[in-house]
Amino acid sequence: MNTASLEKLNLITLVGPPNSGKTTLFNKLSGKNYKTVNYPGSTVEYSTCKIQSKFGIEADVLDSPGIISLNPNSPDEEVSVNSLYNHPEFGSPHLVIATADASQISRHLLLAKQLIESDFNVIVAITMNDILAKRGYEVDENKLAEELGCGVIKVDGRTGTGIDKLISCVKPKLNPDEKDELKNPHKVFENIDKEKLLDLYREIERIEKIVIVPVKNITEPNLKKANEKLKILNPTLKYGSNRPDERTLNIDKLLLSRRWGLIFFFLIMAFTFTSIFWIADPFMKLVDELFGYLSTNASSILGQTWYGDLISDGIISGTGAVLVFLPQILILFLILGLLEDTGYLARGAMLIDKPLSKIGLNGKSFVPMLSGFACAIPAMLAARTISNRRERLLTIFIIPLMSCSARLPVYALLIAFLTPADKLWLGGIALALIYISSILGSLIVAAFINKFNKRIINASDTSSFILELPAYRAPKIKNVIRNSFENAKQYIYRAGPIILVLSMVIWFLTYFPNHSPEINTNGLSHEEIVQMVKAERLSTSYAADLGKFIQPVMSPLGMDWRIGVSLIAAFAAREVFVSSLAMIFKVTDSSDLQSSILLAMKNAVNEDTGKPLFTVSTIIGLIVFFIFAMQCLSTLAVSKKETGGWRIPMLQLVIFTSTAYILTLVTVNVLKFIGFS
Amino acid sequence: MKTASELNFGERAIISDVDNTHPSFRRILEIGFTPGQEIELVNSSAFKDPLAFSLRGTLIAIRKHEADCIILL
């Protein structure tokens, strides 16, 4: 059904260089109803929609990723270019709308010209005409149409000017009679040689001279005045100046200055980083409480049955584990979107490119790495912007080492155990140290893997950094918010099912086989009985068997099977470590969970040695373990998807977890040796 | 033979050729660094690499290593 209706509809593909106003135009055509799809088996993303019904055209519109030319420069670009000719899901386009920035016409016509010469059915949409008008020039549509031999329409995707004209130009092109005459687009630009490319540019420069004309009829009085002033002040003002607008150059004098540039960069990053935590915190608590409330209610309604527990502890808590990170991810994407829209993000990548390139990364790695402090999953998706495959894989590789927010509750508990009540400030220092070691750890790992990259990351591309620094402009808040929600939705779709299923598996392992244990209920309150049952069930569960199985591994660390079980449970999501400890140590008071767990931990005795289980050395050991260990199964699943195989995720699991184990072993024993119990 | 990586800040020059033995030469051409164009070195990162050139009315950041393949008049 679905495919049949797809075949009938005409397909219009939007193609254009990055920053050419392509997506703004797409938003105007789609209204609100669009969806994002992945090119099968790859990470290249497309947005697709039906043209809004008010325009009176029945057609699908596909927003393809921004490309500079039809000659691909990276694996992702290759997918983008190939799918232009024949998209596996949508077929080949009946019509291509090529966007070109009027103020960048000589660079942007390159792609349009290539499309025309490859026999695509092309309409050129000229965007950003207002920017060119401010310089006193405009594009002559008719002359350009004549030169290119295709329809040319000036549009403004933000105000909607010109959209009607564009639509009336599109309509006849989709006529069944005309469609039959369509030629088959063919590839003529792959590995194009230098001379051909230069000829193409010479031709475009010739066209540019003809079609860029001084503005004749300025209707807007303000603009007219400004223009006259401009011409009086600078009578030699001519088109073709290579300088970008003065405002951008002036802002760059500050933000990219060699003295202050890095300071601004770190300030902006510090702001981003802290807002991920501080703004999101109350919302995360809200989500947490909401699901805690739902879970408690569900279990009191359904009673102490296995299905009641499945729904309350498995499904509801599992959903909560997915949604609790949503506020952070939304805020992260919101800030990144704002930074990108203003034009700063490209400059940030440029500022940090040199040091990152020394360890085999790229300036473009820094956004994914920063995102990794919220959650590794959106961070890995963000790594798609890195065109060099080797650098992208290396970035994805080290992302799990960024201290994601799921580790925070764990660190909070462990640090609380270490800090005396009268020296709470020590906790802050400890947390800062943990974050610094996580950053240093990831950089060291990246440098190390970069040295031996042939064996670990199987890809060799020549490293390059070629990036347009777009003119500064006010961000389009509406689009930024819309994209943030779209990205958050992607996170839920991608990570949601995995986390949910894993939560159920962990629930199953901690619930069966002894699901309704017999306990002595004499003189116990209802609350205490519930907790006793939970504790008894867990200590006789499959998870406990598993924990006892790995006991030999835990013993050298001075830990026993109970910590082992909690570490296994933490594979569903790291923060599960805390609730799992609470269950195992039979913590009954749920009103002040942390202090009761702390009390239980202080009283816990190692079942093998009879000595206290939680000591300064084992706690610090656990912190070291959490810094390095690859514990999040959802991250592994996303890593597999993004790298196209099990190789990288398996290496991450083995390398990071064994490093964590060895470092924990060393830490615990060195601490013991120098006198910490 | 002077290349774009040897420009001083604020210095303008005309491109005479792009070295087609360089691995990134095609992308350099495609983004607009073609013979005859005037470029100006306007900025760089604090580490003096990558370099930001103004070209065809916009700013393009490229690594020094890539600027080396842009030969100036």
- 76-135 of A, contacting B, C-beta below 8 A: 103-104, 106-107, 110
Please tell me the total count of domains within chain B.
1
- Binary contact (B55, A352; C-beta < 8 A): no
Q: B27 to chain A: which residues are within 8 Å by CB? A: 68, 73, 464, 466
Residue spans per domain, chain A = 2-233, 262-421+472-490, 492-673
- Give the 3-state secondary structure percentages of chain B, helix then strand then coil, rounded to 5: 20, 40, 45
- Average of per-residue pLDDT values in chain A: 81
pLDDT tens-digit series, residues A489-542: 877 876 677 767 777 777 788 787 876 777 676 777 777 777 777 777 777 888
B25: domain range?
4-72
Length reported for chain A: 677
Q: Given this model, what pLDDT does residue A5 score?
A: 41
d(CA A79, CA A82): 5
Looking at residue A161, its pLDDT comes to: 86
For residue A69, the distance in angstroms to the closest alpha carbon of chain B comes to 7
**What's at B45, amino acid-wise?**
S
Q: What is the per-residue pLDDT across A233-280, written as a single tens digit (0 to 9) for each?
A: 444 445 556 678 888 999 999 999 888 999 999 898 888 877 777 788
Q: Do A198 and B55 touch (CB under 8 A)?
A: no
A108 vs B contacts (CB less than 8 Å): none
CB contact under 8 A, A466 and B20: no
A-to-B residue pairs, Cβ atoms closer than 8 angstroms: 130
Chain A residues 292-351 with a CB less than 8 Å from chain B: 346-347, 350-351
Reduce the DSSP state of residue B24 to 3 states and report it. Answer: coil
How large is the average pLDDT for residues A374-390?
A: 81
User: Quick one: pLDDT at residue A1?
Assistant: 37
Q: How confident is the model at residue A575 (pLDDT cuts 50, 70, 90)?
A: confident
Alpha-carbon distance of A391 to A84, in angstroms, equals 26
CB A628 within 8 A of CB A652: no
Can you tell me the distance from the alpha carbon of A293 to that of A39, in angstroms, rounded to the nearest whole number?
40
pLDDT value at position A235? 41
Q: Is the pLDDT of residue A109 over 80?
A: yes
Contact A68 B30 (CB under 8 A): yes
Q: How confident is the model at residue A77 (pLDDT cuts 50, 70, 90)?
A: confident
Q: Do A242 and B37 touch (CB under 8 A)?
A: yes
- Which chain B residues have a beta carbon less than 8 Å from that of A343? none
Is A399 within 8 Å of A379 (Cβ atoms)? yes
Asked if B25 and A244 come within 8 Å (Cβ–Cβ), the reply is: no
Q: Would the CB atoms of B46 and A261 count as touching at under 8 Å?
A: yes
Joined together, the tokens standing for residue A103 give 């103020």
The better pLDDT of the pair A311, A2 is held by A311
Mean pLDDT lowest among A4-13, A388-397, A432-441, A447-456: A4-13
Q: Do A106 and B56 touch (CB under 8 A)?
A: yes
Q: How far is B44 from chain A (nearest CA, A)?
A: 7
ipTM > 0.90 for the complex: yes
Contacts of B36 in chain A (CB under 8 A): 205
Rounded distance between C-alpha atoms, residue A517 and residue A537, angstroms: 6
Q: Which residue did the predictor score with more confidence, A253 or A569?
A: A253
Asked if A528 has any chain B CB less than 8 Å from its own CB, the reply is no
Cβ contacts (< 8 Å) between A259 and chain B: which residues?
46
A194, A242, A351 ranked by CB distance to B45: nearest: A351
Task: Please give the pLDDT value at position A263.
Answer: 93
Chain B residues touching residue A205 (CB < 8 angstroms): 36
Structure tokens at A630: 């690859």
pLDDT higher than threshold 80 for residue A582: no
CA-closest candidate to residue A455, choices A401, A397, A385: A397
CB contact under 8 A, A363 and B42: no
Residue given tokens 């063919």 in the structure block: A186
Residue B66 confidence (pLDDT): 92
Q: What's the average model confidence in pLDDT over A614-618?
A: 90
Q: Is A357 on the interface with B (CB under 8 A)?
A: yes
Minimal-distance CA residue of chain B relative to A114: B30
CA end-to-end distance (rounded Å), chain B:
8
Residues A346 and A468: their CA atoms lie apart, in Å, by 7
Q: Is residue A256 less than 8 Å (CB to CB) from chain B?
A: yes
Residue A169 has pLDDT above 80, yes or no: yes
Q: What is the pLDDT of residue A87?
A: 79
Most confident of A179-183, A209-213, A320-324, A453-457: A209-213
Among partner residues B45, B49, B62, which is closest to A466 by beta-carbon distance? Answer: B62
The torsion angle over the Cα atoms of residues A615, A619, A621 and A624, rounded to 10 degrees, is: -160
pLDDT for res A459: 56
d(C-alpha A294, C-alpha A287), whole Å: 11
> Whole-angstrom Cα distance, residue A382 to residue A494?
13
Q: Do A194 and B26 touch (CB under 8 A)?
A: yes
Q: Check A462 against B23: CB less than 8 A apart.
A: yes
Rounded Cα gap, residues A532 and A535, in angstroms: 5
Nearest chain A Cα to B55, which residue? A242
Indicate whether A312 pLDDT > 70: yes
CATH code (residue B37): 2.30.30.90
The three-state (H, E, C) secondary structure of A136-154, written as one string: CEEECHHHHHHHHCCEEEE
- In the predicted model, is pLDDT for residue B64 greater than 80? yes
Give the residue among A540, A563, A539 at the shortest CA–CA distance from A553. A563
Regarding predicted confidence, which is higher, A423 or A21? A21
pLDDT value for A36: 61
Q: Using the beta-carbon criterion (under 8 Å), do A346 and B61 form an inter-chain contact? A: yes
Confidence of residue A454 (pLDDT cuts 50, 70, 90): low
Q: Between residues 190 and 249 of chain A, which touch chain B (CB distance below 8 Å)?
A: 192, 194, 197-198, 201, 205, 241-244, 248-249
For B6-56, what is each residue's pLDDT tens digit?
999 999 999 999 998 888 888 899 999 999 999 999 999 988 889 999 998
List CB contacts (< 8 A) between A353 and chain B.
45, 47, 49-50, 63
| Domain with residues A2-233, CATH architecture | 3-Layer(aba) Sandwich (3.40)
Among chain A residues, the shortest Cα distance to B49 is held by A354
Among A201, A242, A467, select the one facing B54 at the smallest CB separation.
A242
Residue A219: other Cβ atoms inside 10 A: 7
To the nearest whole Å, the CA of A348 is away from the closest chain B CA by 9
Note whether B38 contacts A242, CB cutoff 8 Å.
Answer: yes
| Contact (Cβ atoms closer than 8 angstroms) between residue A369 and residue A380 | no
- Are residues B60 and A464, on separate chains, in Cβ contact within 8 Å? no
